[in-house]
Amino acid sequence: MTEKQTIAVLVALGNTKYPDLVTEHLDELAFLAETAGIKTGKRLIQNLEKPDGKFFIGKGKLEELKEYVRALGASHVIFDDDLSPSQLRNLEKELNPKELEAKVRIYDRSLLILDIFLQRAQTSQARTQVELARNQYLLPRLTRMWTHLERQRGGTGTRGGAGEREIETDRRIIRDQISLLKEKLKKIESQHVTKRKSRQNIVRVAIAGYTNAGKSTLMNLLSGSDILAENKLFATVDATVRKVNLGNIPFLLSDTVGFIRKLPHHLIESFKSTLDEVREADIILHVVDISHPYHENHIEVVSKTLAELNAGNIPVILVLNKVDVVRAQRPDFDEEASKGYYRQMGFEQVIFIAAAKKLNIQALKQMLFEEVKKKHTLLYPNYLATGYEFSFMDGGEQR
Ligand SMILES: Nc1nc2c(ncn2[C@@H]2O[C@H](COP(=O)(O)OP(=O)(O)OP(=O)(O)O)[C@@H](O)[C@H]2O)c(=O)[nH]1
Ligand SMILES: [Mg+2]
């Protein structure tokens, strides 16, 4: 059997009113695929208000899709929205007629994100959370495409088509795994609760934001840590907490998983304990990649996700990162006027920085210091007697 190269056809629903939006969604989907190690070859857009119940796309487009898959020798078809279990089954029959040797894998955005999380998760907590979310996603969607279960059972190679009985066995295996993972997660979480309780007497600051905004770069800069920061989506999946001092006030700073539009529901659900760092924070540094053409939409997605996590009322500093790129592209960019715009969006504290270039970090520290001080005073009313120190200049910094 000839191994197909990993190349994907991307599929999305278009909106004739906002044609640019689908391009942006597909760009992001391509970036996700690239992060997962899949090249993207062709894009198919279907202008429909809502997906077709049977195949997600219409019959005509389906024929076009088959043509693309054949011409490219594609290994994957990736849909930008979630496929229902029956859409998945129907598409699989159409795209994998028995006479074809190699299989075309059908993905949707959720499954792609789950796969990336699985590749990236380091700690046992994160791994367990992702495995749980992935199994919950797969349970209603088991079809003959899922040969990974065969491997786990020690089966061999391809099979012509799994009968209902085999799928039922697979379902049972997945259900058992789900209960085991839930148990395991409960144990891990109980240890974390104890750890977090010991943190009640210290101010907690969480870095949150859209994926690839520069959160880990900022975390490393403020805390002197060494977290992986790279131009990939979901470089960070685990949570990291560090003790940091600004002047003479200590606080805890955390970096965690980024958000993205259409984040799988199961994933948010099972990552709740990792995201406790955000939920329990006193202050959120909401980091934004200001050089991204759709950053306003990113801000909206992040604010919405924070609200879903019950973190919507925590004071936020809006940190507009990567301003170096904007300054280079638009020399006339008026930062002060622009700040006013974000204040109108409801963000009282707004600041431009470039974490990777160490631009304006001193001003950010000042701003953060003031916020931390407010919380610290509430925790330690007598601390004022010794006085707060503002001197944390690290010299030589550019604006
Ligand atoms: N030009 C420029 N690039 C930056 C800046 N800050 C971060 N980057 C780059 O942006 C990319 C993403 O940075 P990360 O710090 O990994 O972003 P993140 O928000 O932690 O991303 P995830 O963990 O994947 O969600 C990296 O390639 C960084 O080098 C900046 O101020 N300017
Ligand atoms: Mg990161």
Q: Are the C-beta atoms of residues 122 and 238 closer than 8 Å to each other?
A: yes
pLDDT attached to residue 94: 92
Q: Angle at CA 216, nearest 5°, toward 210 and 220? A: 155
- Token readout for 325 is 């790129």
Ligand 1 atom showing the smallest separation from residue 231 Cα: 27
- Position 156 pLDDT exceeds 60: no
pLDDT for residue 185: 92
Q: Is the pLDDT of residue 247 over 70?
A: yes
Residue 158 has pLDDT above 50, yes or no: no
Residues 181, 204: one domain? no
Residues 293 and 361 in one domain: yes
Lowest mean pLDDT among 161-170, 280-289, 301-310, 355-364: 161-170
- Among the candidates 159, 174, 195, a domain finishes at 195
DSSP strands (E only) in the chain: 7-14, 39-47, 76-79, 105-108, 203-209, 240-246, 249-255, 283-289, 316-321, 349-352
Q: Give domain status of residue 141, yes or no.
A: yes
- The answer on 248 and 233 residing in a single domain is yes
Answer yes or no: is 391 within a domain.
no
Q: What is the pLDDT of residues 12-60, one digit of tens each?
A: 999 877 888 899 999 999 999 999 999 999 999 999 889 999 999 999 9
Q: Say yes or no: 54 and 11 in one domain.
A: yes
**Computed over its alpha carbons, how large is the radius of gyration of the chain?**
24
Residue range of the domain that includes 82: 7-108
CB atoms under 10 Å from CB of 302, counted, come to 25
- The preferred substitution site among 31, 217, 359 for testing ligand 1, maximizing ligand atoms within 8 Å of CB, is 217
Find the mean pLDDT for residues 117-124. Answer: 90
Domain shared by 25 and 148, yes or no: no
Do 238 and 158 lie in a common domain?
Answer: no
Q: Which of 108, 141, 175 is the last residue of a domain?
A: 108
Assess whether 359 and 265 both reside in one domain: yes
Q: Which residues line ligand 1 (CB under 6 A)?
A: 209, 211-217, 229-231, 233-236, 258, 321-322, 324-325, 354-357
Assigned domain for 113 exists: no
Instruction: Give domain status of residue 397, yes or no.
Output: no
Looking at the structure, tell me whether residues 223 and 364 fall in a common domain. Answer: yes
> Is position 116 within any domain?
no
- What is the pLDDT, as a whole number, of residue 157? 42
- pLDDT of 122: 87
Q: Does the pLDDT value for residue 112 go beyond 90?
A: yes
What is the DSSP pairing of strand 7-14 with strand 76-79? Answer: parallel
Percentage, residues of the chain above pLDDT 70: 88
Residues 205 and 334 in one domain: yes
Question: What is the chain's mean pLDDT, rounded?
Answer: 87
φ, ψ at 56 (rounded to 5°): 75, -45
For 170-180, how does the pLDDT look when each residue is reduced to its tens digit (9 = 90+)? 889 999 999 99
In a domain, 268, yes or no: yes
Candidate of 31, 212, 222 to mutate for ligand 1, largest count of ligand atoms within 8 Å of Cβ: 212
Is the residue at 40 inside a domain? Answer: yes
Picking from 163, 179, 195, the residue at the C-terminal end of a domain is 195
Q: Is 15 in the same domain as 159? A: no
Query: Residue 195: left (phi > 0), alpha (psi -120 to 50), or beta?
Result: alpha
pLDDT tens for 314-355 read: 999 999 999 999 999 999 999 999 999 999 999 999 999 999
Q: Write down the pLDDT at residue 333.
A: 93
Strands 203-209 and 249-255: parallel
Inter-residue contact 13 to 58 (CB < 8 Å): no
Count of domains forming the chain: 3
What is the number of the ligand closest to the CA of 263?
1
- The yes-or-no verdict on residue 64 having pLDDT over 50 is yes
- CA–centroid distance, 370 to ligand 1, in Å, is 25
Q: For atom 30 of ligand 1, which residue has the closest CA?
A: 322
Q: Which residue has the higher pLDDT, 212 or 153?
A: 212
